[in-house]
Amino acid sequence: MFRPMVHFLRLLVLSLGLIAIRPVFASSTVTVPPPANAYVLRVDGLACPFCAYGIEKEFAKQPGVENTDVNLSNGVLIVTVSPGTAFTDAQLAQVVHKAGFQLKAVVNRPAGAKP
């Protein structure tokens, strides 16, 4: 008689505990600022992992590019460059265009880089 009740209470406590901690994990997104030597680009059309691969591959061909990071959920591309490497907005737009996309905006540039 008591076993089913104990089992039910355990499930109830577990369920309530999971419901209680859900908002903590849902709101714990951490935004990491881009490196100081990075361009942050808004790119139109980034929608899938293949898109990310294509644009990362195109930027990897450019001299001085150390790393690329694509955030598909908001269409942002972070291009980290080696010190002393600089791109104009036109050069960035050209590389993005070669990959099959359109540059919407350059959100951030490394210190000293000119548009």
Confidence (pTM): 0.69
* Rounded Cα–Cα distance for residues 21 and 32 (Å): 23
Neighbours of 64 (CB within 10 A): 14
Residue 88 host element (H or E) = none
Q: Tens digits of per-residue pLDDT, 8-54?
A: 777 777 676 656 555 544 444 546 667 778 999 999 998 889 989 99
CA distances from 59 to 15, 83, 99, 109 (A): 47, 16, 9, 16
CB 52 within 8 A of CB 46: yes
Strand 76-81 and strand 38-44: pairing? antiparallel
Domain boundaries, the chain: 38-108
Would you give the DSSP letter of residue 75?
A: T
CA distances from 75 to 17, 45, 49 (A): 35, 7, 12
What is the structure's pLDDT at 27?
44
CATH fold, domain 38-108, is: Alpha-Beta Plaits (3.30.70)
